[in-house]
């Protein structure tokens, strides 16, 4: 039996020399005030084990991790239509790039870069119910935690600094790729990004992706097996933006990051793992979090390749 607790303790111990090599996101001013030396990590196994180290219980801004869960709701609501509105190819560009959008007629490369995430939330907003409440409640259900909520300071800070995301949304509206009012869309997108969860919450929320959709922890089928297969594939190819190749090479797991410093990753059939450390590398992925996951898959031999 793998002693996950001992492994996490050893990883946390080895992280110290890795601090100070990345930088905390400050293009959303309210995110810049987070302590750079935070580190938390949780492993949630398919048979119900939960192992944590460091600041794993502390909620942080999930940012682009929300894209993983909004995609799941969009796929449940709209099925294959999602893939006619966003692609499934890596972009090779930064997460907030709009360079390819004009060349490719306003159709985003994938649902994890900002342009693609704006399309998936647009789909939710044009459907039944209040999109914000649905996203929050979905996360509460998956994390088994009813206290999950948005941080309105972070949300308003991002709304006030969303010129690039607004530009994308206008360009896509001109191409007919989105239907909603741009300001409403930006406000809802900033809401989903400002939700706060801990590593413990996120490891539970990602678990259905490790078990083909039926989760004993939740006592329910959260996703279809086909949806899990597809989402894990898009995480492998697009989840870490323009750093996706090096992440596959170093860590070797389907994963998704956020500029709050969180990364969730999935070992199919075995576990979900969440790590948080706010200093980012040049692709916008947690620097220390990536080192920790690299060590984790090396020590546990759980990389998928
Ligand atoms: O749209 C943005 O720029 C942020 N709310 C989210 C970006 C993000 O988390 C990218 N991830 N690494």
Helices (H), the chain: 4-14, 65-78, 82-85, 99-103, 114-126, 131-143, 152-160, 163-174, 182-194, 199-206, 225-238, 244-250, 287-300
If one residue of 166, 191, 259 were mutated to test the ligand 1 pocket, choosing by the most ligand atoms within 8 A of its CB, it would be 259
The rounded Å distance from CA 201 to ligand 1 centre is 19
The rounded Å distance from CA 243 to ligand 1 centre is 14
Cα separation, 249 vs 227, whole angstroms: 25
* Ligand 1 cavity residues, CB under 6 Å: 63-64, 95-96, 114, 158, 165, 193, 257-259, 284-285
3-state DSSP call for residue 267?
Answer: strand
Pairing of strands 50-54, 40-45: antiparallel
3-state DSSP call for residue 255?
Answer: strand
Q: Specify the pLDDT at position 36.
A: 97
What is the 8-class DSSP label of residue 35?
-
Ligand 1, atom nearest to 27 Cα: 3
Q: What is the 3-state secondary structure (H, E, C) of 45-57?
A: ECCCCEEEEECCC
Pairing of strands 23-24, 279-280: antiparallel
Cα separation, 179 vs 113, whole angstroms: 19
Q: Specify the pLDDT at position 9.
A: 98
Q: Specify the pLDDT at position 1.
A: 87
If one residue of 96, 111, 202, 279 were mutated to test the ligand 1 pocket, choosing by the most ligand atoms within 8 A of its CB, it would be 96
Q: Specify the pLDDT at position 34.
A: 95
Q: pTM for the complete prediction?
A: 0.98
Domains of the chain, earliest start first = 4-61+198-300 (3.40.710.10), 65-193 (3.40.710.10)
Predicted confidence pLDDT, tens digits, the chain (305 residues): 899 999 999 999 999 999 999 999 999 999 999 999 999 999 999 999 999 999 999 999 999 999 999 999 999 999 999 999 999 999 999 999 999 999 999 999 999 999 999 999 999 999 889 999 999 999 999 999 999 999 999 999 999 999 999 999 999 999 999 999 999 999 999 999 999 999 999 999 999 999 999 999 999 999 999 999 999 999 999 999 999 999 999 999 999 999 999 999 999 999 999 999 999 999 999 999 999 999 999 999 999 99
- In this structure, what token pair is assigned to residue 201? 């919450």
Q: Specify the pLDDT at position 195.
A: 98
3-state DSSP call for residue 218?
Answer: coil
Cα separation, 301 vs 280, whole angstroms: 25
Q: Specify the pLDDT at position 4.
A: 98
Q: Specify the pLDDT at position 128.
A: 87
């Amino acid at each position: 039996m793998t002693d996950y607790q001992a492994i996490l303790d050893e990883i946390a111990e080895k992280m110290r020399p890795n601090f100070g090599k990345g930088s905390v996101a400050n293009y959303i001013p309210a995110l810049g005030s987070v302590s750079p030396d935070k580190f938390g990590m949780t492993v949630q196994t398919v048979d119900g084990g939960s192992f944590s180290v460091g600041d794993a219980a502390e909620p942080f801004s999930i940012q682009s991790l929300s894209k993983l869960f909004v995609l799941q709701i969009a796929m449940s609501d709209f099925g294959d239509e999602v893939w006619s509105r966003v692609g499934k190819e890596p972009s090779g560009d930064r997460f907030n790039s709009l360079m390819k959008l004009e060349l490719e007629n306003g159709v985003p490369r994938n649902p994890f870069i900002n342009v693609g995430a704006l399309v998936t939330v647009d789909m939710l907003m044009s459907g039944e119910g209040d999109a914000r409440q649905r996203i929050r409640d979905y996360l509460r259900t998956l994390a088994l935690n009813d206290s999950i909520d948005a941080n309105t300071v972070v949300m308003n800070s991002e709304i006030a600094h969303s010129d690039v995301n607004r530009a994308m949304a206008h360009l896509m509206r001109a191409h007919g790729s989105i239907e909603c009012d741009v300001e409403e869309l930006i406000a809802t997108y900033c809401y989903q990004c400002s939700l706060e969860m801990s590593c413990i919450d996120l490891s539970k929320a990602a678990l259905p992706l490790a078990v083909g959709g039926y989760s004993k922890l939740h006592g329910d089928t959260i996703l279809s097996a086909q949806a899990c297969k597809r989402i894990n594939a898009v995480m492998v190819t697009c989840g870490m933006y323009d750093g996706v190749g090096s992440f596959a090479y170093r860590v070797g797991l389907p994963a998704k990051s956020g500029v709050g410093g969180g990364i969730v990753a999935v070992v199919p059939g075995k576990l979900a793992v969440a790590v948080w450390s706010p200093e980012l590398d040049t692709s916008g992925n947690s620097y220390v979090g990536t080192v920790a996951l690299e060590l984790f898959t090396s020590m546990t031999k759980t990389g998928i390749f």
